[in-house]
Amino acid sequence: MQRTRIKICGLTRPEDVQAAVSAGADALGFVFYPKSPRHVTPAQAGALMSAVPPFVSTVALFVNASIDEVRAVAAAAPFAQLQFHGDETVDECAAIAAAVGRPFMRVFRVRPETTGADLLAEEALCRAASPLFSSLLLDTFVDAYGGAGKVFDWAVIPAELAPRVVLSGGLTVDTVAGAVRQVRPYAVDISSGVEQAKGVKDPAKIDAFTGAVRLADHGA
């Protein structure tokens, strides 16, 4: 059985990057949305990413950014993939990804009225739009766009889609094992649940989170 990949998002400090890498995170997320308390500048991200070892992916996260803003980040920070977390159209995502030559995750912000058919349709639309589309990241719809620590109903995720999605939104050390067992997603993503304060991660919580995912992967 495939092991569940892990993304730790909203990193702003070198010690938190190190903690996530040491805990076995597969991907590290850096937020370039100025209104976020986890926002980093391109220069800050470049310094943080320079400490990331091989085989750990770096994700640059944007909310309704212009192509020039994304280009500026790409020039300063060696991120491996994009995450579009705003109101971008699929075509806008595809165009920006092509301009910087990086694969992208498209975020679907799940509302109470969202259906499984909506999720499958969105994935099909993205796959048709760009060979650079990698996966949907499913988060809870909030006005602040993301990083809110809010959970959506995982039952909405079709079983056929689950192995291709990144499950996000309000996960914690205590809930992630149940999420993995129920959904069996390709990956899980977390920000608030491993923090001491917004933008300040807690190494012990990061360790506990990745450990809980590993135990769930092995049937515990």
Ligand X SMILES: O=C(O)c1ccccc1NCC(=O)[C@H](O)[C@H](O)COP(=O)(O)O
Region of 32 (left: φ > 0; alpha: ψ -120 to 50; beta: rest) is alpha
Interaction of residue 185 with ligand X, rule CB under 6 A: no
In the set 20, 130, 132, 170, which binds ligand X (CB under 6 A)? 170
Interaction of residue 26 with ligand X, rule CB under 6 A: no
Instruction: Return the HEC string of 35-62.
Output: CCCCECCHHHHHHHHCCCCCCCEEEEEE
- Given the residues 91, 139, 202, 217, select the one marked as catalytic: 139
R_g of the chain computed on alpha carbons:
16
Question: Candidates 27-35, 42-50, 74-82, 155-163 — which segment interacts with ligand X by CB under 6 A?
Answer: 27-35
DSSP letters, 94-120, are: HHHHHHHT--EEEEEEE-TT--HHHHH
In the set 25, 190, 212, 216, which binds ligand X (CB under 6 A)? 190
Interaction of residue 12 with ligand X, rule CB under 6 A: no
The alpha carbon of residue 38 and the mean position of all alpha carbons in its chain are separated, in whole angstroms, by: 14
Interaction of residue 146 with ligand X, rule CB under 6 A: yes
Interaction of residue 28 with ligand X, rule CB under 6 A: no
Interaction of residue 61 with ligand X, rule CB under 6 A: yes
Least CB distance to ligand X at residue 109 (A): 9
In the set 12, 135, 192, 210, which binds ligand X (CB under 6 A)? 192
- Per-residue contact flags (x/-) with ligand X for residues 90 to 129, judged by CB under 6 A: ----------------------------------------
Per the CB < 8 A criterion, the answer to whether 11 and 200 are in contact is no
Q: Between 1 and 143, name the residue whose CB sits nearer to ligand X.
A: 143
Instruction: Quote the CA–CA distance of 147 and 107 in Å, as a whole number.
Output: 12
The single-letter DSSP state of residue 64 is S
Is 9 annotated in the active site?
yes
Is 202 annotated in the active site?
no
The single-letter DSSP state of residue 192 is G
Question: Candidates 20-28, 91-99, 145-153, 210-218 — which segment interacts with ligand X by CB under 6 A?
Answer: 145-153
Instruction: Quote the CA–CA distance of 165 and 123 in Å, as a whole number.
Output: 10
Instruction: Quote the CA–CA distance of 89 and 67 in Å, as a whole number.
Output: 13
Which residues here bind ligand X, judged by CB under 6 A?
A: 9-10, 29, 31, 33, 36, 38, 61, 63, 85, 139, 145-149, 168-171, 189-193
